[in-house]
Amino acid sequence: MLIPHPLLGLRDAQEFTYLGDARLIERPDGMAAGAEAVFADYVYLRDNPAGVHRELWFHEQGDRSWLVVTRDTVTHEIISAELARDVAMRGKGGAA
Amino acid sequence: MHFSGFRVIKEALTGHKGWKPLWRNPDPQPSYDYIIIGGGGHGLATAYYLARTFGQARIAVLEKGWLGQGNIGRNTTIIRSNYLLPGNEPFYEFSMKLWEGLEQEFNFNAMISQRGVLNLYHTDAQRDAFRRRGNAMLLAGADAELLDAAGVRAMAPFLNFDNARFPIKGGLLQRRGGTVRHDGVAWGYARGADMRGVDLIQNCEVTGFRIEEGRILGVETSRGYIGAKKVGVAVAGSTGRVMQMAGMRLPIESHVLQAFVTEGLKPVIPGVITFGAGHFYVSQSDKGGLVFGGDLDGYNSYAQRGNLPVIEDVAEGGMAVMPMIGRARLLRSWGGIMDMSMDGSPIIDRTHIEGLYLNAGWCYGGFKATPASGYAFAHLLAKDAPHDTARGYRLDRFARGHVIDEKGVGAAPNLH
Ligand SMILES: Cc1cc2nc3c(=O)[nH]c(=O)nc-3n(C[C@H](O)[C@H](O)[C@H](O)COP(=O)(O)OP(=O)(O)OC[C@H]3O[C@@H](n4cnc5c(N)ncnc54)[C@H](O)[C@@H]3O)c2cc1C
């Protein structure tokens, strides 16, 4: 698989390590009320779709950036890739 | 139809005209007492043990394709009970004991071959860890022997003992481990269940659940609605997809694992050999092919095929530990989809929906569990109480902090 890195162009997926569902970016607040149950869900439960999936890939053997890669889990087709930082900033309502 | 040596000779002398299909091919009834979703090893074993306990119950297995099309028909057929943790070891040893009596019990040749499983070690620390594992096995009533380098050399002189990075210093041997003809297991259980009145319904995909006021009423299928008092789900790599239809999120990701087989060779490998450090395991089938595998592809996948980098990685692992494998031609490779759980251990439990039960999370070690999984799941379905050996496999263990993390890699399913 080739991952279209937004800065570096097409890179071999072998240069990356995989973390999983991109929703892991949205880490809950550990100090909030009810954090224990929310964290159990966050750490252990997953959507596990057959089809389009947004996931985190770490360019470990490259520029060490984290990417959010959108990929089809049935065909292995890679639809898009963006810097996880941009996705996270957007989530916080910041300028990306 | 009863199989025996006499029968084989009789058929041989009369042109093999007396053999019959191993199971009927019935249409679905409007409703059942028990529906098992998934005609893989675990689903068929569950139906078999359920029917054996309750001759009177109306039981059906619903399979979207043909019986045994899933992981039961794709795995590398290794059975062993060399686990470490108290939540796991007694369960897998229970499974091993069931394997040992299985062929007599269901009167079917599954080619159970206890040719031994040898796990290699390469450092003093790994030896100590294996010694501890061996002791845990002995305590649970299993067998284990720690071999030094000379002991391994006597069994498998062809291994690369002087590998610069992973010199072989010895191994943990379970002589009762080995391999089983995987299709034979599916067929044996299917035949046994069918003989006890279970309807095995193929080409019948479950497409939804009918749930009212927190209780299951039945399932929607590609062949219409079928009512049921209790529904057990045993769909291996499709668990995420199927349970999503019941509105459940699970501690599971689906990943692809590949397997490989070479051309047929004369007998060269005495039993199963595993090279954990490079993640490579190999055995030889009765037809002579070397059967081997290694790592997962490592990312969520529902494609029943793998990608090339892992093929290369597995081949490298093989060459590192067993250079002579480089002379063998690879005939085939394929992939199976496994439900990788967050602690690497299985789930056999009720769900919060009354009448809906789950058997899942077998990662890539669930074949050896087939008899015990079926037995324990049937026990749970029938009695609404967990089987003694499967008490640790609760669904809420993650939230309670009682994970069974055999490999110690935590909530990283692609590392288990
Ligand atoms: C390459 C590979 C090597 C392996 N090697 C080993 C090994 O050496 N030792 C070991 O112990 N384990 C091994 N495993 C793991 C083992 O094969 C599995 O854990 C085990 O087979 C899973 O249980 P099962 O047999 O019931 O699954 P399956 O045979 O996959 O059964 C599940 C069934 O459910 C059906 N299904 C899915 N969705 C639906 C639906 N909606 N409606 C109806 N039916 C549905 C599927 O078609 C399938 O037939 C390996 C797995 C793979 C892929």
Q: Please, which residues have CB within 8 angstroms of residue B104's CB and are 6 or more apart in sequence?
A: none
| pLDDT score of B331 more than 90 | yes
Ligand 1 nearest-atom number relative to CA B42: 26
| Residue A91 pLDDT | 81
Give yes or no for B231 touching A (CB within 8 A): no
Using pLDDT thresholds of 50, 70 and 90, give the confidence band for residue B226. Answer: very high
- At which residue do the structure tokens 């890739």 appear? A81
Tens-digit pLDDT profile for residues B276-294? 998 999 999 999 999 999 9
- With beta carbons under 8 A apart, name residues in chain B contacting A45: 249-251
Query: How far out from the chain centre does Cα A50 lie?
Result: 17
Q: Is the dihedral angle over the CA atoms B24, B28, B32, B35 positive or is it negative? A: positive
Query: Is A14 in contact with B398 (Cβ distance < 8 A)?
Result: no
Q: What percent of chain A has pLDDT over 90?
A: 93
Indicate the angle between helix axes B89-106 and B182-195, nearest 10 degrees. 70
Tens-digit pLDDT profile for residues B337-393? 999 999 999 999 999 999 999 999 999 999 999 999 999 999 999 999 999 999 999
For residue B6, give Cα distances in angstroms to B2, B14, B20. Answer: 10, 12, 16
For residue B350, give Cα distances in angstroms to B151, B232, B360. Answer: 46, 9, 11
Three-class DSSP labels, chain A: CEEEECCCEEEEHHHCEEEEEHHHHCCCCCCCCCHHHHHHHHHHCECCCCCEEEEEEECCCCCCCEEEEEEECCCCCEEEEEEHHHHHHHHCCCCC
Spatial separation of the C-alpha atoms in residues A23 and B103, rounded to whole Å? 48
Which of A1, A40, A71 lies at the smallest CB-CB distance from B398?
A40
Spatial separation of the C-alpha atoms in residues B318 and B308, rounded to whole Å? 15
Tens-digit pLDDT profile for residues B179-216? 999 999 999 999 999 999 999 999 999 999 999 999 99
Whether residue B235 contacts residue B40, with contact meaning beta carbons closer than 8 Å, is answered with yes
- At which residue do the structure tokens 């039981």 appear? B59
Distance from CA of A61 to the nearest CA of B (A): 15
Query: Is B302 in contact with A50 (Cβ distance < 8 A)?
Result: yes
Spatial separation of the C-alpha atoms in residues B230 and B395, rounded to whole Å? 18
Ligand 1 nearest-atom number relative to CA B80: 11
**Chain A contact probe: residue of B64, B296, B299 with most A CBs at under 10 A:** B299
Spatial separation of the C-alpha atoms in residues B284 and B304, rounded to whole Å? 23
Q: Please, which residues have CB within 8 angstroms of residue A92's CB and are 6 or more apart in sequence?
A: none
**Chain B contact probe: residue of A2, A24, A39, A46 with most B CBs at under 10 A:** A46
Distance from CA of B343 to the nearest CA of A (A): 9
Query: For residue A83, with 0-12 CB atoms within 10 Å meaning exposed, 13-18 middle and 19 or more buried, which class applies?
Result: middle
Query: Is B303 in contact with A73 (Cβ distance < 8 A)?
Result: yes
Whether residue B219 contacts residue B225, with contact meaning beta carbons closer than 8 Å, is answered with yes
Whether residue B232 contacts residue B359, with contact meaning beta carbons closer than 8 Å, is answered with yes
Distance in Å, CA B407 to ligand 1 centroid: 21
Q: Please, which residues have CB within 8 angstroms of residue A82's CB and are 6 or more apart in sequence?
A: A6, A67, A68
- At which residue do the structure tokens 């391999």 appear? B179
Spatial separation of the C-alpha atoms in residues B367 and B365, rounded to whole Å? 6
Average pLDDT along chain A: 94
Average pLDDT along chain B: 96
Query: Is B399 in contact with A13 (Cβ distance < 8 A)?
Result: no
Tens-digit pLDDT profile for residues B302-323? 998 888 999 999 999 999 999 9
Which residues line ligand 1 at a C-beta cut-off of 6 Å? B 37-43, 62-65, 69-72, 74-78, 205-206, 234-238, 242, 257-259, 293, 336, 338, 362, 364-368
For residue A20, give the nearest of B252, B71, B406, B403 by alpha carbon.
B252
Please tell me the residue having the least CA distance from ligand 1 atom 33: B38
Give yes or no for B258 touching A (CB within 8 A): no
Tens-digit pLDDT profile for residues B28-85? 999 999 999 999 999 999 999 999 988 889 999 999 999 999 999 999 999 999 999 9
Query: Is B251 in contact with A1 (Cβ distance < 8 A)?
Result: no
Tens-digit pLDDT profile for residues B389-408? 999 999 999 999 999 999 99
| Residue A96 pLDDT | 52
| pLDDT score of A94 more than 80 | no
Q: What percent of chain B has pLDDT over 70?
A: 100
| pLDDT score of B225 more than 70 | yes
Rg of chain B over CA atoms, in angstroms? 21
Whether residue B226 contacts residue B218, with contact meaning beta carbons closer than 8 Å, is answered with yes
b/e code A17-56 from CB counts within 10 Å (16+ = b): ebbbbbeebeeeeeeeeeeeeebbebbbbbebbbeebbbb
| Residue B56 pLDDT | 85
| Residue B305 pLDDT | 84
| Residue A34 pLDDT | 93
